[in-house]
Chains A and B, each alone.
Chain A
Amino acid sequence: MNKVLVLAELNGNDLDNGVFELLSLLNNLNVSNDEITVCVLGDNLQDKDGILKQIPCSKILAHSNIDTNNLNPNILSKLASSMIEDLQPNKILISKTNLGQDLAPRLAFKFGWGLVNDCLNIEKNENNDWTGIRPIFGGNFMSKINIKTPTEIYCVRPKVFDSLTDKTISPEIEYKQFTNDLETKTKVLKRINEQSEGIKLEDADIVIAGGRGLGGPEPFETLDEIAGLLNAAVGASRAVCDAGWMDHSYQIGLTGKDISPNLYLTVAISGASQHMAGCGNSKHIVSIDKNVEANIFNDAEFGAIGDWKNILPGFLDTLKDLVKE
């Protein structure tokens, strides 16, 4: 029998999808509802029963009304610690969000428990022990990790699992006052949401992106032209943004935008796992690259091998003809 604590995150009225994905992962592992407690972190939870009830689990533990300063991890690591001491779980699951990726290591080191960070899956062996699977070396390798401490923490990459939707369970919500000192000298002053011109990368039906192999900022003019014809948004790999060819607001990947278009067309992007983490939910990936061994072709449906300098003109000319029709 496990005692699993799942952290959920409520930002304003916005319940992060992570909790639904973590519950889906637990469902895959045949963990039953009575083994699971969902702990919610957020502001003014007591007015938010209606939202919390959407979580398909049987038990929810929420803290009484406190100001978390915009989900400040320095505050919430203290609060989450109190919830953990209260529940004494043997497994903790956290979604790797802005908050989760800071919280998981803090909790691990506070309690001296092992953590599998950026976990992509959990396997269960015949003894019911769990093994976390995580990418290393930019996703070129995968590793399997067994945690040897009595409590195990898994920080799971978002959007890897589908959401669990079980309308038949309705959770009991318990509010508890956690009275420890939540003072911190670190304060969130403001959040600035990025504005980009034209179609937003995250909303676009078609995205065309360029990588380091383009060699400079100029080829992005051709990508812009193609995007104009297809009503697509333009993106870029991290190498391109780091080199200053494009602004970081165009960056797709683990350390950039997370996109899920119908068609993702890549030009000269090798497709390191950090990049794929931001576009893995694209329905169709189509790639142009000179290297047939490039990682991107593991995910691409169609590939064009060769020098983009020769392939793109053929693609663009044909596109213009197709648009005329």
Chain B
Amino acid sequence: MKILVCVKEVIDPEVPVSSIDIDSNGWKFVPKQGVSTVLNGFDENAIEAALQLKESIGDVEISVLSLGKDFSMDVIKKPLSMGCQNLFLVKDDILETSDSFVIVNVLYETINKIGPFDLILCGRQASDWDNAQVPIGLAEKLNLDCVTLAKSIECNNNNITIERVISGGIEVVKSELPVLITVSNEYGEPRYPNLRGIMTAGKIQPQFFSLEDLGISANDINNINEITDIYIPEKNSNCEFIKGEDEYDIGRNLALKLRDKNLI
């Protein structure tokens, strides 16, 4: 069985807003000096799901695919040190400012070259643009069924059972390979790479593609969504901060204030 996991390198979502500049030329995030990038958290959940399927099924080869202008090898090779076998990277400057529409097309062409795959796994969304549309768009383009927000995946021959997170509960869905599944954080914590994994990953060379290699010309790259502004939302400064002699006293005064306002 061949599994593909699509991943993205993103600016660490935990850093404060002040660590990120906005470049209005093409509208991109520019991390300030010393701000690190990480593997998108939901993509790590997807990697974990692939690895657990490999552990339960046995004969599974996991490939990882990412696109971008540049890659930090420490970050993008993490799936290999977690236990994946192959890494495919599509590298082009233009991909830095491409919208979901372009990204889906490039993923599609890459999969035509390196695939087919029985199962494609993606994180539910990327923590930078929060679009949650590339995986679903890719499924549409590949003419695959798509099951989103998985918290557990069981595979038995061609049959696959997925528990998905919906508001108010859980939905149990069955499908058949090939299918595309997006994985949510409820799947569980991704594993840490161990020393052996890191050593193995060190020996695996990623396979690079240019857009030209994929038969895509610059003329084919056209965003259909135009960003006209990115801004930091305005702060509301109406919050009344409770005073006190010390922190215990602040807690006391907070309780009294809430009683005074009839909130408790």
Contact = CB atoms under 8 A, between A and B. Distances in A.
Interface of A: 70, 73-74, 77, 97-98, 101-102, 104-106, 108-110, 112-118, 131, 134-149, 184-194, 206, 230, 238, 241-242, 244, 248, 255, 257-258, 262-263, 284, 286, 288, 292, 297-307, 310-319, 322
A292 B230 contact: no
Nearest to A142: B233
23 contacts: A73-B146, A73-B148, A105-B132, A105-B140, A115-B100, A135-B233, A137-B17, A137-B130, A144-B228, A185-B179, A186-B145, A186-B174, A187-B174, A189-B173, A192-B172, A244-B189, A257-B167, A286-B254, A302-B240, A302-B242, A314-B251, A315-B251, A319-B255
Interface string B226-264: 111111110110111110101111111111111101011
Contacts of A242: 185, 189
Nearest to B184: A255
A148 B192 CA distance: 43
B167 A136 contact: no
B1 interface: no
A229 to B, nearest CB: 9
A319 B60 CA distance: 58
Interface residues of B, number: 81
Nearest to B256: A318
Contacts of B11: 137
Given A230-B264, A262-B263, A317-B252, A185 B175 contact: yes
Interface string B154-183: 000000010001111111111110010000
Given A143-B230, A311-B250, A317-B252, A109 B136 contact: yes
B71 interface: no
Interface in B18-37: 20, 22, 27, 29
B73 interface: no
Given A105-B140, A255-B165, A312-B251, A74 B13 contact: no
Nearest to B165: A255
Contacts of A303: 239-242
* Main secondary structure on B side of the interface with A: mixed
Contacts of A292: 241
Given A298-B236, A322-B256, 10 more contacts: A77-B140, A137-B17, A137-B29, A186-B146, A189-B174, A286-B254, A302-B241, A310-B248, A311-B251, A314-B254
Nearest to B45: A242
B262 to A, nearest CB: 10
B152 to A, nearest CB: 12
B74 interface: no
Given A248-B186, A286-B258, A318-B256, A137 B224 contact: no
A270 B11 CA distance: 19
B167 A114 contact: no
B147 A136 contact: no
Question: Max chain B CB contacts within 10 Å: which of A70, A139, A142, A143?
Answer: A143
B230 A192 contact: no
A109 B255 CA distance: 52
Contacts of A319: 255, 264
B248 A311 contact: yes
Contact of A118 (B132, B146, B248): B132
B29 A186 contact: no
Contact of A288 (B132, B147, B171, B254): B254
Nearest to A278: B167
Question: Max chain B CB contacts within 10 Å: which of A142, A187, A307, A314?
Answer: A314
A164 B230 CA distance: 30
A135 B26 CA distance: 18
A108 B99 CA distance: 13
B67 to A, nearest CB: 17
Contacts of A143: 27, 227, 229-230
Contacts of A206: 264
Contacts of B81: none
A101 B248 contact: no
B131 interface: yes
Contacts of B145: 74, 184-186
Contacts of B175: 185-187
B213 to A, nearest CB: 24
A185 B179 CA distance: 10
A98 B167 CA distance: 7
B171 A101 contact: no
Given A108-B133, A184-B145, A314-B248, A145 B140 contact: no
A180 to B, nearest CB: 14
Contact of B173 (A112, A147, A187, A305): A187
A304 B137 contact: no
Given A102-B136, A248-B186, A146 B247 contact: no
Question: Max chain B CB contacts within 10 Å: which of A137, A184, A315?
Answer: A137
Question: Max chain A CB contacts within 10 Å: which of B11, B140, B141, B240?
Answer: B140
B247 A114 contact: no
Given A191-B171, A313-B251, A110 B179 contact: no
